[in-house]
Amino acid sequence: MRGTAVTFEGVSKRFGSVVALDDFSLRIEPGEFVTLLGASGSGKSTALNIIAGFSDATSGDVRIGNRSVLGVPSEGRNVGMVFQNFALFPHMSVAENVAFPLRMRKVGRAEIDERVQRALDMVRLGGFAARKPAALSGGQRQRVALARAVVFEPPVLLMDECLSALDLKLREELQEEIRRIHDQIGATSIFVTHDQGEALTMSDRVAVLAGGRIEQIDRPDVLYDRPATRFVADFIGRTNLIEAEPVAGGLRIPGIDTVLPAAPGQRVISLRPERIARASHLTDADKITFSARLEQSSFQGATVDHQVRLANGTELTLREGRSGAFTPLQPGAEVALAFRRQDAVILADR
């Protein structure tokens, strides 16, 4: 099976005076795994519901493949769905639950049995066919829901916060499993979450939504390393957002003696905590060094976060790994620190 493209073209959705989607345009390529990431109320579910046919766009067009699906009922769209509270039928066995979409499509008995078994094997529940949902763990139930969503080989698979009710370990396990199944079946997957770690690990591309619009859509590493806006820099991971001072030739970080080239209108510098290091650990010729006083350190397990303060009062956080060469720092200590010029991301102030 091969996934089909999904396209939003200038889609707006209003609920009375609330604008849930605002001139939203996005093309998801066949077989791609795209995650919609955003805070509560940013329009993620609204976008998914419009593809699923549970909700109509106020304006704009939505296409699955080359075909506009405006006015096409949900059943006619051939889309697989897994939602957080998309309950299994409690009176049916696991196998009957998974068989349901095939029965609706009038698939023959023998083929149903074979495809149900294959789908259950895929989610590693091959031995659970006869169980009732009540006799399954939360993670197993979610896997049955996934098997039911993919059993009819939909070209498009929609998942809305389908892991958020599970504990961390199980969630991480299922993240890998969903990605593996996606790769195996080749469907176009659209995944919704407000968990950025989940979005970054699972996706080919992540769309960051805010106020019903896409702030930025990019590969996870690009989103993290090269955020396009202050909002995205702040939303994805942790960062130091520094209000810089416009000077001749660019921007100066208060308290650090260097000028970074910048375009007009750029006022803010994003510098990830792990991109700041002790000066002696950075061998780059082009590094920018500065001195700071340690305020406090907080232990994270694999890493330690240090809060430091520059002579002019600017506060920064740096993150160090605790492998081999790591030595703790004492509060009050004056430390020589550095970062690479290219690790400072210069942003417009919005």
Ligand X SMILES: Nc1ncnc2c1ncn2[C@@H]1O[C@H](COP(=O)(O)OP(=O)(O)OP(=O)(O)O)[C@@H](O)[C@H]1O
Report if residue 175 touches ligand X, rule: CB under 6 A: no
Q: How many CB atoms lie within 10 A of CB 291?
A: 14
Report if residue 35 touches ligand X, rule: CB under 6 A: no
Three-state secondary structure call for residue 149:
helix
Minimum distance from CB of 30 to ligand X (Å)? 25
| H-type alpha helices, the chain | 44-52, 94-104, 109-122, 138-150, 168-185, 196-202, 220-225, 230-235
Distance CA 109, CA 213 (A): 45
Minimum distance from CB of 23 to Mg ion (Å)? 20
Minimum distance from CB of 59 to ligand X (Å)? 16
Going by the DSSP 8-state scheme, the letter that residue 197 receives in this structure is: H
**Cβ proximity to ligand X, 46 vs 93, nearer residue:** 46
Among 45, 93, 175, 229, contact with Mg ion (rule: CB under 5 A):
45
Query: Which among 336, 347, 350, 349 has a CA at the least distance from the CA of 260?
Result: 347
Q: Which does 43 bind (CB under 5 to 8 A by kind): ligand X, Mg ion, none?
A: ligand X
Q: Which does 46 bind (CB under 5 to 8 A by kind): ligand X, Mg ion, none?
A: ligand X
**Cβ proximity to Mg ion, 4 vs 55, nearer residue:** 55
- Long-range (24+ apart) CB contacts under 8 A made by 72-77 are 75/104, 77/51, 77/52, 77/53, 77/156
Residues 176-215 vs ligand X: string with x where CB under 6 A?
Answer: ------------------x---------------------
Minimum distance from CB of 190 to ligand X (Å)? 13
Report if residue 44 touches ligand X, rule: CB under 6 A: yes
Report if residue 239 touches Mg ion, rule: CB under 5 A: no
Site for Mg ion in 61-100 (CB under 5 A): none
**Cβ proximity to ligand X, 20 vs 199, nearer residue:** 20
Report if residue 104 touches ligand X, rule: CB under 6 A: no
Of 42-50, 146-154, 206-214, 308-316, the window that binds Mg ion (rule: CB under 5 A) is: 42-50
Interface with ligand X (CB under 6 A), residue total: 12
Backbone torsion region of residue 197, taken as left when φ is above 0, otherwise alpha when ψ lies between -120 and 50, otherwise beta = alpha
CA-to-CA dists, residue 235 to 19, 160, 230, 295, angstroms: 22, 20, 8, 25
Among 3, 31, 38, 53, contact with ligand X (rule: CB under 6 A):
38
Distance CA 216, CA 236 (A): 11
Q: Are 80 and 158 in contact (CB under 8 A)?
A: yes
Going by the DSSP 8-state scheme, the letter that residue 17 receives in this structure is: T
Report if residue 15 touches ligand X, rule: CB under 6 A: yes
Two tokens, residue 334: 């004056």
Report if residue 42 touches ligand X, rule: CB under 6 A: yes
Residues with Cβ < 8 Å from 85, sequence gap 6 or more? Answer: none
Among 3, 31, 43, 227, contact with ligand X (rule: CB under 6 A):
43
**Cβ proximity to ligand X, 45 vs 140, nearer residue:** 45
Interface with Mg ion (CB under 5 A), residue total: 1
Minimum distance from CB of 45 to ligand X (Å)? 3
- Whether the CA torsion 23, 29, 31, 32 is positive or negative: it is negative
Q: Are 293 and 332 in contact (CB under 8 A)?
A: yes
Q: Which does 18 bind (CB under 5 to 8 A by kind): ligand X, Mg ion, none?
A: ligand X
Minimum distance from CB of 176 to ligand X (Å)? 23
Going by the DSSP 8-state scheme, the letter that residue 297 receives in this structure is: E
Residues 238-277 vs ligand X: string with x where CB under 6 A?
Answer: ----------------------------------------
Minimum distance from CB of 241 to Mg ion (Å)? 27
Among 4, 7, 35, 45, contact with ligand X (rule: CB under 6 A):
45
What is the residue whose two structure tokens read 């081999």?
A: 324
